[in-house]
Amino acid sequence: MAEYINGINPDILKWARERSGYAVEAIAAFLKKDASIVNDWESGERAPTYIQLEKLADKYKRPVALFFFPEPPDEPNIVENLALRSSDNTPLEPRIHILLRQAYARQLSLMELNAGTNPAKTKIFRDLQARSNDSAMALAQQVRAYLNVDVTTQSGWNTPVTALENWRDCIEEAGIFVFKEAFRDDSVVGFCLVHDEFPVIYLNNSRSPVRQIFSLFHELGHLLLGENDITRGISRKGGKVEMFCDQFAAEFLVPSDDLETHLNFSIYDDNAVAELAKYYNVSRPVILLKLVNKGILTKEHHWQKIDQWTEEYERRIEKKVSGKTSRGGSYYNTLTAYLGHRFMELAFGKYRDGHCSIEQLAEHLNVKVKHLPQLEDCLLRKALR
């Protein structure tokens, strides 16, 4: 017969569930129990078995020992503090809650690995600061000069994947670490967390490279404003700050003065938009936004095309899922892409220098110790290409 455990703190059971973004009903369904049982656990009237507690710990991504603490840990409620779009109050999926906690943990890892000081020679989040009533165009010009990348260089990157890698490297060289993850929630395209030394940006790797490029600079805009952010998909009713960051990202990636020299089309149809998008290595919606701002296209046309492309995208995703045509790539290649070479080289370097144990290294990289040799091999192979 299953043995129920004494000493579990019911307040932490509730705290962990809520911090993970789960409703009582969702946890009850996961455990195949009635919701009243989960409520009884969280009120202290009943207690789960050890096996049930292990399942909860795995679901909430928390250590089992946590549930025996006298009180919840001193952990910031990142979701409550995020600057969400005022027009979108849709609850975040539990996966996003977990990634936000992961991002906070990465900031702590960066603090520990660097003895509290960002090693970057230049720190864009300190050198350039903005307010939402500033000129998005002026900020875009300042950032481009700061990163020292001209449009000719940008257009010379032969694929959007290469462009994304190069832009990521530029941002990390300027002091902001960029991580990627499969969000498993297409409604969220990216988020960022401010920090005095180690602000971070997270990109949804499930989205196309050109969409990730735009998200990268949209989130950079938020960091330069000095605020946390989580960005949903394209919205018709974005607030002032979201509009500012959209305008900043669009102007940075497609400078108006440069675009002017390429506006030689007799008609601005899908082919013209696609050609301009390919030249700048950006998404078609970015070009649409620029053409609307120049008065070449109307807002109505802009949203009509956005709706059309969104519907086509959703159909492709649905077909891909139903057809099960997706093939999994290498676990280590994927993890290397998610973590980024700069963060991995930093962590492995500290381990080789004797500044952290192999267990601490695994914790920083959020992997099991047994995976570290293959992960390092993957990093070295990538560096030799």
pLDDT digits (tens, 9 = 90+) for 279-296: 999 999 999 999 998 899
pLDDT of residue 385: 64
Distance in angstroms (rounded) separating the CA atoms of residues 254 and 257: 9
- Give domain status of residue 311, yes or no: no
Are 203 and 92 contained in the same domain? yes
- Give domain status of residue 19, yes or no: yes
Distance in angstroms (rounded) separating the CA atoms of residues 12 and 42: 8
Are 61 and 93 contained in the same domain? no
Domain final residue, candidates 226, 253, 280: 253
- Give domain status of residue 216, yes or no: yes
Element spanning 229, H or E: strand 229-232
Distance in angstroms (rounded) separating the CA atoms of residues 300 and 310: 15
Are 45 and 111 contained in the same domain? no
- Give domain status of residue 120, yes or no: yes
Q: Give the model's confidence band at 115: pLDDT under 50 very low, under 70 low, under 90 confident, else very high.
A: very high
Are 240 and 362 contained in the same domain? no
Are 347 and 244 contained in the same domain? no
pLDDT of residue 132: 87
Domain final residue, candidates 69, 94, 118: 69
pLDDT digits (tens, 9 = 90+) for 309-345: 878 777 776 666 565 544 556 888 999 999 999 999 9
Are 101 and 187 contained in the same domain? yes
Are 160 and 35 contained in the same domain? no
DSSP annotation of 175 reads T
Mean pLDDT (the chain) is: 89
**Distance between alpha carbon 31 and the CA centroid of its chain, in Å?**
30
Are 64 and 91 contained in the same domain? no
Range of the domain at 168: 81-253
What is the total count of domains within the chain?
3
- Give domain status of residue 279, yes or no: no
Are 48 and 135 contained in the same domain? no
Q: What is the pTM for the complete model shown?
A: 0.89
- Give domain status of residue 195, yes or no: yes
Angle of the 372-384 helix axis to the 341-352 helix axis, nearest 10 = 120
Is residue 9's pLDDT more than 60? yes
- Give domain status of residue 312, yes or no: no
Residues facing 202 on adjacent strands: 179, 191
Are 128 and 232 contained in the same domain? yes
DSSP annotation of 49 reads B
- Give domain status of residue 288, yes or no: no
Q: Give the model's confidence band at 84: pLDDT under 50 very low, under 70 low, under 90 confident, else very high.
A: very low
What is the identity of the amino acid at 359? E
Are 60 and 197 contained in the same domain? no
Domain final residue, candidates 195, 223, 253: 253
| Average pLDDT of span 126-145 | 95
CATH, residue 47: 1.10.260.40
Helix/strand/coil for 177: strand
pLDDT of residue 85: 44
Are 49 and 111 contained in the same domain? no
Residue at token pair 């004797």: 354
